[in-house]
Structure 1
Amino acid sequence: MKLLQAFFLTLFTFFLSAVSDAQTGGGKISGMVLDDAKKPLDGATVTLLIAKDSTVVSTLLTRPDGSFAFQNLKGDTYLVKATYMGYRNYRSGPVVLNQQQPVNLPAFILPLAGKTLNEVAITGKKSYVQQKIDRTIVNVGALISNTGANALEVLSKTPGVQIDADGNITFKGKSGVLVMIDDKPTYLSAANLATYLRSLPSSSLDQIELMDNPPAKYDAAGNAGVINIKTKKNTTRGFNAVVSADYALGFYYRNNESINLNYRFDKVNLFANLAYNKQRTYRRLEIDRDYFDMNGDQTSSLKDISYFRPASNNTNIKTGMDYYASPKTTWGVVFTGTLSHDHDSSPVNSLLYGKNGELDSTINTLNTSRNSFKSGGVNLNYTHKFDSAGRALTFDLDYIRDVSGSNQLFVNNTFLPDGTLTNSTTLSDNLPATINIYSAKADYSHPLKGKAKLEAGVKSSYVNTDNAANYFNVINNVSTIDYNNTNRFLYKENINAAYVNFNKKLGRFALQTGLRLENTNGKGHQLGNVQRADSSFANHYTNLFPTAYFSYNLDTAGHKVFVISYGRRIGRPNYGSLNPFTFFVDKFTYFSGNPFLKPQFTDNYKLAYSFKSLFTVAVAYNYTTDVQNETIHKNGNVFISTTGNIGQRKTLDFSVNTNLQPAKWWSVNLYAEVYNNTYQGMFYSGYLHQSQSTFSGNGNNQFTLSKTWSAELSGFYDSGGTYGQFVTIPKGMLNAAIQKKILNNKGSIKLNARDIFHSFRPSGTITNIEGAHAAFHNFLDTRVVTLAFNYSFGKLTNVPKKRDTGGADSEQNRAH
């Protein structure tokens, strides 16, 4: 660690000296590029030409604030040209420069291409991936194959992101990522988050922001970083709407419908997004377990084959109002709601074999379940801009309430090899859960002299959860309480935070640094019953989380950029993982909580080099202590899953992202990374030491066949890796899509095929289980063909973008 810190300090010193060397004399021409709503156009191309013969002197891209600057120029008469995809070009008049007096040009205003007084026809197309100093931006609509998919499927194709068979999300080979929607945390458990993302159609998504080292403004939670999913926002005057519908066929059928409405009049902006989907999916899970005695000789084996066919109905709504009290002040309110119901009948066939491979017995289990999830939230927000320089204050109040319930029935019948029934048991359960979340936060931004800015903010959140597990033994249709498994767990948590962030530009050099302080106070209470006593625990800790980014432009055009960054993050235990009671999964599998779980901390170091928007190369090193990971240990023939602290993890990651255009009709985005995960620490079976390197890659090809026809070919591959006890094998996916624009380009019909070769089958082994070895194999309903229709209508005149984000923070990702 000290060696790495010394290395980064040396590089920082080198950058400072390089910056001082770069501050040479010469003329300067600067300015800004804005759209017709006077918002900055980040990444616009600005070209400097000699006026007399139009010879190109230099070309550069605008910064995030829309600014540009040509430096070290000779005295002459110049022309400046600005272009941005989807917007009309701008060309200045003659600009006379002498080396003693810099020229600051008036802002260039670029109207949308094809814009009339009543509508906008955008002729350009966004790149699939865009790089920023502190994040990677993925434009969801740039991929045709995203049509008809849900948000979880869209994430699975995002560079560096992987989704396992249970819907758990990893980013760059690490679990514990914080998922946010419009800068607000989802406040959901991993299972409920997966359910919610499956119910969110891709037609409602705009961008996905990937931040492996988020700035201080964001919560420090999520040791693997932050994934921020930005939904579509209508920002136009008058009435406008976008409707979409699709029908998909995989193992079973599924359908999605959505509508986004917006109406702006005078000082009021009303909006509503509604989505409904109905789906039924299929999954076959096979688990093979071998048991050994003290001498290593096999004593028995078990083969489980489980079938899951969940059918669900999901409704999402988001509605609100913005009131523009003045040109500087905006008030807003946003209401969100989710309603989800699903049912499943999942048979499990368990075959138990003796040490010589002979069949000992068969256990047939029929699991039936009915589940519901309801979530409602309200956000009140306020924005005040003190001046045109960027001094602003924002404030958010949030309240979210989640209510979930599950009713399950487990019927287990045991048979001898000849089919004789030897035992039959029935177990039922009722699992209600409630979570209430309160949050308040304020952020202030203050520009300083010399292209510098100071940001600061405070936040406080309070979470109250109530989880119950009521188990019953059913004999002759009479239910009696199972006190061994019945429990109720209460948990309260308060997090108080404050941060400060500073950024400064100095010639070719840019600095952004921040510090966040978070104080955590948690208290858990396990209620007892007639057979078990009460128990409780409390945790209090305060931590500092620094972040820093240093960038240096290697050329005056800003095409070649070198970035170095550091950040520290925390991964707090999920609320359900702290619940100390045991939960029943099947006769051979239990889940047990761990009230002694400690938070994990990660230090992230990263070096990156970017050339224009063509490619980015990065190397990153992450060091995590008290790693939280799912662990498996054995009690007899029963596997018990729990979340534990298993020591430390070191990750070394090398990645490349490139955007190419081999031809006018063909564009390509490729992402590839090689990372090594090394786990070390004490474990149930002694000392755990797992290490493996993994190759992972995403790629997509976009083809423009004509003015109204386009196509796409995309996919990904993962070579498999190690994640604690779990070692996965290779998997991949290939997708294809074709699109036809109709109705004067306001509508489209798309046909999409996902996982054409049905090659996405997450499988692997579970190691370090004392006296046992296990392997798992999944067969998923991922080969799906979708036919989708999309249509937009209404007036399309740009107005300032509304506020629809809030301050509710990372606690929701840890719910239940």
Structure 2
Amino acid sequence: MRLIQAFLLTLFTFLIFNLANAQTTGGKISGTVLDDAKKPLDGATVTLLVAKDSAVVSTLLANKDGSFTFQNLKDNTYIIKATYIGYKSYRSEPVISRQKPVNLPAIILATAGKALNEVAVTAKKSYIQQKIDRTVVNVGALISNTGANALEVLSKTPGVQIDADGNITFKGKSGVLVMIDDKPTYLSASNLATYLRSLPSSALDQIELMDNPPAKYDAAGNAGVINIKTKKNTIKGFNAVISADYAQGFYSRTDESINLNYRINKVNLFANLAYNGQHTYRRLEIDRNYFDENGVQTSSLKDISYFRPISNNTNIKAGMDYYVSPKTTWGVVFTGTISRDHDNSPVYSLLYGQNGGLDSTINTMNTSKNKFDSKGINLNYTHKYDSTGRTLTFDLDYIRDVSGGNQLFVNDTYLPDGTLTNSRTLHDDLPSTINIYSAKADYSHPLKGKAKLEAGIKSSYVNTDNAANYFNVIDGESTIDYNNTNRFLYKENINAAYINFNKTLGRFSLQTGLRAENTNGIGHQLGNAQKPDSSFANHYTNLFPTAYFSYNLDTAGHKVLVLSYGRRIGRPNYGSLNPFTFFVDEYTYFSGNPFLKPQFTDNYKLAYSYRSLFTFAVAYNYTTDVQNETIHKNGNIFISTTGNIGQQKTLDFSVNTNFQPAKWWSVNLYTEVYNNTYQGEFYTGRLHQSKYTFSANGNNQFTISKSWSAELSGFYNTSGTYGQFVSIPTGMLNAAIQKKILNNKGSIKLNMRDVFKSFSPSGTITNIVGATATYHNFVDTQVATLAFTYNLGNLTHSAPKRDTGGAESEQGRAH
């Protein structure tokens, strides 16, 4: 509370200071920079020159809507110059400033290239772009992203870390909300990882990183929001982008995709089809030591697991935009994912006695077949009331996810001499169905004096049905295992409303928002012949304030200071509330926790940036009732469950820089140092862990010639702590080269990921009463990829379609 008060006092002081300075008089010249399709050019460079001798008075970057303003000008005659990569520069006629504001007509920058049949010109985007409330990563700026899937692209994104199971952390914190095109996928952590592995990089446009999202976004995700934006064609006529690649790692894999768009008159049709076939490999080794009450080791266990899943994944996104009038647009979007995989994953368990001698060996043959089908439809509407930007939008969403798995476990126990002492066969059937309904509306209203008011409402309803049917198989006959068989039903309704206000006063910009969310959840665990029914209900309402305050330290807007605050919530994943135990092998179980409470996080951040070339930030996050995977033991069995483990404090220092040592060489470097501190009481005892972690992520782009380019990129992370888990250092180096062909309409790329095969997520599990444990992963990340991309059609842009989707908060929670 004291930190919040200090923040608000600082904010008030700066505002009063600004109001005092706002009384100064002077001329003002304002305008907007657009491309030849009347689309704002965010980040265009605008320079104010003295007409007499072309002396530079000030330089600034255009805002997101293309607007710019020069203030406190002396009486004089000026010239405006505007430039943007890939466009012809603009130079205005003389503009006279005499105290009164001057509003210029829109500045239109023409494309620098010639017609398509002569040459195709594309503007090269920066890999990283900094904005007041988010960091934008342009996926296509890295050649090494070619042939990768979305999860692999995320692993190279600044501040993001992926473990061997596909779990995502952001700036050292778990619980990040991952969205696709501003809407959730409503997937469990494992299904989300599967989906992202099935999504090729050729379908991705940008990744938005928001550690403190504005009030317009759902408050879910205590670590912030990662929004993956897929490619959207806005080109008139017919056009298509075709991509195909072949990759070779431990096994081979392929990716194929086609992005289609057809615009005629008032109708725009689009489709994105992608398929990939993957055969991957991972070896996991777990070592456990067991101790008695006096600390004397009594036994030890070594588990060696092999995972060789073969999957076939198809992703479809298709839709239509109908432009009723220049102000009104209706749209419909269909999405679908079809995923099938099968795996033969043997587990070899070696149990040793007190003296270190081998007591027994257990061979578990685990064969599985899994499916995941997701279908969704979105209906969206946009109406622009006038030219000021007053806009109303709404979205209706329905998503249905159906998944299932069949596994067969054959567990054979042998003495050291090879004698079979026990054999157990277990079969399971794990169907799951999730239905999601969501509706939201947003309204934007510009106000006088460069201010804007936004407001919106949203309601979502989620209905999940998860079953776990276990059968003991004896002499070919199956009987129900009532100890593990269960069915869990969960229903949840979230109602939300928000208001957001932003205002620019001279060098000062203020954005504040408040979001209210009401949550209602009901869980029902169905009983069986041996287990009774059980149920629970949760109802709570919370407020989530956000605030951003920026100050331009110079008149050109090159040096910017940003102070921000936000509060967020992390609701339990649906499956984590299921109280039954799920079998993994003889010594490893997963169990749910119906008593999980939501976690709440307060985020504070101070950042300084210079011309989007250099950004330094310090952030502090405080989380209560932290949800994290916990490990405890029952005899020799390790049980994994999600629990509330107390509080977490994170202090983060980060630096991001872009520079160009030579005309042919550009560099982006992101580094951060963060400290995670966990404190709390939970069922495995007192947890108190604190550790500093250094993380670096960099890429080098080399322009060899007009048609040849290359890249060298990589990342490195030192040891870190995440609840009970302490990781060891790991990293990766990638190299790639690209050749443009067919009049620049096509390209061939060769990419090598993890050149030195150094990525091996491993670590230690702490705070287990009566035991210690370490884990080591050997992952199939050293992969060579050869890819081909071809563009066909014309390159005349039309009005962009709006990002659609209203289901932001439920993503990543469905187990």
TM range (shorter): over 0.9
In structure 2, the residue matched to 1:113 is 112
Quote how far apart the aligned CAs of 1:576 are. Answer: 0.3
In structure 1, the residue matched to 2:561 is 562
Q: Matches of residues 457-536 of structure 1 in structure 2 within 5 Å? A: 457-536=456-535
In structure 2, the residue matched to 1:5 is 5
Residues in 2 aligned to 1:138 and 1:715: alpha-carbon distance in whole angstroms: 15
Quote how far apart the aligned CAs of 1:25 are. Answer: 2.1
Q: Secondary structure at the match of 2:810?
A: helix
In structure 2, the residue matched to 1:95 is 95
Letter in 2 for 1:809: E
Letter in 1 for 2:730: K
Q: 1:681 to 1:231 in 2, by over 3 A?
A: same
In structure 2, the residue matched to 1:63 is 63
Quote how far apart the aligned CAs of 1:123 are. Answer: 4.1
Letter in 1 for 2:48: L
Letter in 1 for 2:173: K
| Identity in percent | 83
Residues in 1 aligned to 2:588 and 2:298: alpha-carbon distance in whole angstroms: 19
In structure 1, the residue matched to 2:600 is 601
In structure 1, the residue matched to 2:712 is 713
Residues in 1 aligned to 2:463 and 2:72: alpha-carbon distance in whole angstroms: 60
Q: 1:646 to 1:671 in 2, by over 3 A?
A: same
Q: Secondary structure at the match of 2:236?
A: strand
Residues in 1 aligned to 2:445 and 2:713: alpha-carbon distance in whole angstroms: 43
In structure 1, the residue matched to 2:405 is 406
Quote how far apart the aligned CAs of 1:697 are. Answer: 1.0
Q: Secondary structure at the match of 1:798?
A: coil
In structure 2, the residue matched to 1:159 is 158
In structure 1, the residue matched to 2:749 is 750
Range with greater deviation from structure 2 (462-471 or 48-57)? 48-57
Q: Matches of residues 11-90 of structure 1 in structure 2 within 5 Å? A: 12-14=12-14, 16-18=16-18, 20-21=20-21, 23-90=23-90
TM-score, with length taken from structure 2: 0.99
Contact 1:19 1:507 (C-alpha < 8 Å) held by counterparts = no
Letter in 2 for 1:249: Q
Give a deviation string over 1:223-251, Cα, whole Å, max 9, x none.
00000000001101100000000000000
Letter in 2 for 1:579: N
Range with greater deviation from structure 2 (323-332 or 52-61)? 52-61
Q: Secondary structure at the match of 1:810?
A: coil
In structure 2, the residue matched to 1:395 is 394
Contact 2:119 2:744 (C-alpha < 8 Å) held by counterparts = no
Residues in 2 aligned to 1:142 and 1:54: alpha-carbon distance in whole angstroms: 35
Residues in 1 aligned to 2:129 and 2:437: alpha-carbon distance in whole angstroms: 34
Quote how far apart the aligned CAs of 1:76 are. Answer: 2.0
Q: 1:597 to 1:109 in 2, by over 3 A?
A: same
Residues in 1 aligned to 2:64 and 2:118: alpha-carbon distance in whole angstroms: 27
Q: Matches of residues 580-729 of structure 1 in structure 2 within 5 Å? A: 580-729=579-728
In structure 2, the residue matched to 1:242 is 241
Q: 1:204 to 1:81 in 2, by over 3 A?
A: same
Give a deviation string over 1:710-731, Cα, whole Å, max 9, x none.
0000000000211000000000
Residues in 2 aligned to 1:281 and 1:124: alpha-carbon distance in whole angstroms: 36
Contact 1:118 1:797 (C-alpha < 8 Å) held by counterparts = no
Contact 2:350 2:362 (C-alpha < 8 Å) held by counterparts = yes
Range with greater deviation from structure 2 (293-302 or 48-57)? 48-57
Contact 2:311 2:341 (C-alpha < 8 Å) held by counterparts = yes
Contact 1:23 1:507 (C-alpha < 8 Å) held by counterparts = no
Give a deviation string over 1:481-511, Cα, whole Å, max 9, x none.
0000000000000000011111111111011
Give a deviation string over 1:419-472, Cα, whole Å, max 9, x none.
111111100100000000001111111111111111111110000000000000
Letter in 1 for 2:297: Q
Range with greater deviation from structure 2 (87-96 or 583-592)? 87-96
Residues in 1 aligned to 2:390 and 2:675: alpha-carbon distance in whole angstroms: 44
In structure 2, the residue matched to 1:733 is 732
Residues in 2 aligned to 1:392 and 1:704: alpha-carbon distance in whole angstroms: 43
Q: Matches of residues 362-377 of structure 1 in structure 2 within 5 Å? A: 362-377=361-376
Give a deviation string over 1:751-782, Cα, whole Å, max 9, x none.
00000001100000000000000000000000
Residues in 2 aligned to 1:246 and 1:803: alpha-carbon distance in whole angstroms: 30
Confirm whether residue 271 of structure 1 aligns to residue 270 of structure 2: yes
Contact 1:461 1:809 (C-alpha < 8 Å) held by counterparts = no
Residues in 2 aligned to 1:406 and 1:724: alpha-carbon distance in whole angstroms: 30
Q: Secondary structure at the match of 2:632?
A: strand
Give a deviation string over 1:33-65, Cα, whole Å, max 9, x none.
111122221111111112222222221111222
In structure 1, the residue matched to 2:383 is 384
Q: Secondary structure at the match of 2:17?
A: helix
Quote how far apart the aligned CAs of 1:102 are. Answer: 2.8
Contact 2:120 2:745 (C-alpha < 8 Å) held by counterparts = no
Quote how far apart the aligned CAs of 1:668 are. Answer: 0.4
Q: CA RMSD in A?
A: 1.2
Unaligned runs of 5+ in 1: none
Q: Secondary structure at the match of 1:814?
A: coil
Contact 2:577 2:595 (C-alpha < 8 Å) held by counterparts = yes
Residues in 2 aligned to 1:754 and 1:12: alpha-carbon distance in whole angstroms: 50
Q: 1:757 to 1:567 in 2, by over 3 A?
A: same
Q: Matches of residues 64-463 of structure 1 in structure 2 within 5 Å? A: 64-98=64-98, 100-116=99-115, 121-463=120-462
TM-score, with length taken from structure 1: 0.99
Quote how far apart the aligned CAs of 1:806 are. Answer: 1.3
Letter in 1 for 2:780: D
Contact 1:286 1:776 (C-alpha < 8 Å) held by counterparts = yes
Quote how far apart the aligned CAs of 1:116 are. Answer: 3.6
Residues in 2 aligned to 1:72 and 1:574: alpha-carbon distance in whole angstroms: 53
Unaligned runs of 5+ in 2: none
Residues in 1 aligned to 2:227 and 2:165: alpha-carbon distance in whole angstroms: 21
Give a deviation string over 1:376-398, Cα, whole Å, max 9, x none.
00000111110010001101111
Quote how far apart the aligned CAs of 1:66 are. Answer: 1.3
Letter in 2 for 1:157: K
Q: Secondary structure at the match of 1:812?
A: coil
Letter in 2 for 1:40: P
Contact 1:370 1:407 (C-alpha < 8 Å) held by counterparts = yes
Quote how far apart the aligned CAs of 1:18 are. Answer: 4.6
Residues in 2 aligned to 1:162 and 1:119: alpha-carbon distance in whole angstroms: 43
Residues in 2 aligned to 1:754 and 1:280: alpha-carbon distance in whole angstroms: 16
Residues in 2 aligned to 1:14 and 1:402: alpha-carbon distance in whole angstroms: 49
Letter in 1 for 2:705: S
Contact 1:672 1:695 (C-alpha < 8 Å) held by counterparts = yes
Letter in 1 for 2:27: G
Letter in 2 for 1:31: G
